[in-house]
Amino acid sequence: MRNIALKLMYVGTAYHGWQIQKNAVTVEETLEKAIASVVGHPVKCTGAGRTDAGVHAENYIANFRTTSTIPCDRLPLAVNTRLPEDIVVVKATEVHDGFNAIGSCIKKEYTYRIYNSRIRNAFFVNRAWFYPKHLDETVMQRAADQFVGTHDFRAVRSVGTETRTTVRTVHYFQVSRAGELIECRVCADGFLYNMVRAMTGTIVYAAEGKLSPEDIPAILASGNRTLAGPTVPPGGLYMTKLWYEENVL
């Protein structure tokens, strides 16, 4: 039995997230059906993370096991012919039996994109959050800096999947602007449900003057979700980078 890691990218607009659901179309289900039709038997994919409905991935890793002998260099082309245009397999790599796309992931980066202009841009619909009021990215960066380090992030997660601990380590939270597009890049050893979207909402609140960047440590310490900013829309969120010891990217 071979263990195959797939590198893929997808636009999440048409899907109810990565993970299979009973009554909704998901990326995982769509991918598994395509792979099964190529390898000739049912497969179960393990994904790098549970991206939510409408969230995108520029880089994503999933692994599955197969008895098929199809060479790895042929798998992406074969699977892509059976996938819709908004999901693309970029690379296939045979990995050791213990490799697991989520368990073997050392850290992840998500990027949240805000289109900050008085006039919306049709090409960013469902790809960036249109925000017409000017945002000061320097204030956003001051606020973002407060999240860096090891903290309990209960105050910036939505109620959802239960986890053993809500403590995570954020390695960096970088805010940059290129014209009217603001990018918020967050790297951590793991993320709670809606954590990036709530962190982004909090630094936007700071830019609006609804809270001070220096308030954020106390908000985190409180664990109170209502003290932080809102959970921003999913269309601006992308999984952008993953780190593994194996060369799967």
Helix (H) or strand (E) holding 138: helix 137-145
d(CA 97, CA 123): 42
Would you call 97 helix, strand, or coil by DSSP?
Answer: coil
Per annotation, catalytic residue among 52, 73, 145, 152: 52
* Catalytic-residue membership of 86: no
Q: Would the CA dihedral through 144, 204, 125, 10 be positive or negative?
A: positive
d(CA 154, CA 224): 7
Contact by Cβ (8 Å): 207, 139:
yes
Would you call 25 helix, strand, or coil by DSSP?
Answer: coil
d(CA 103, CA 215): 34
Task: Report, as residue numbers or ranges, the catalytic residues.
Answer: 52
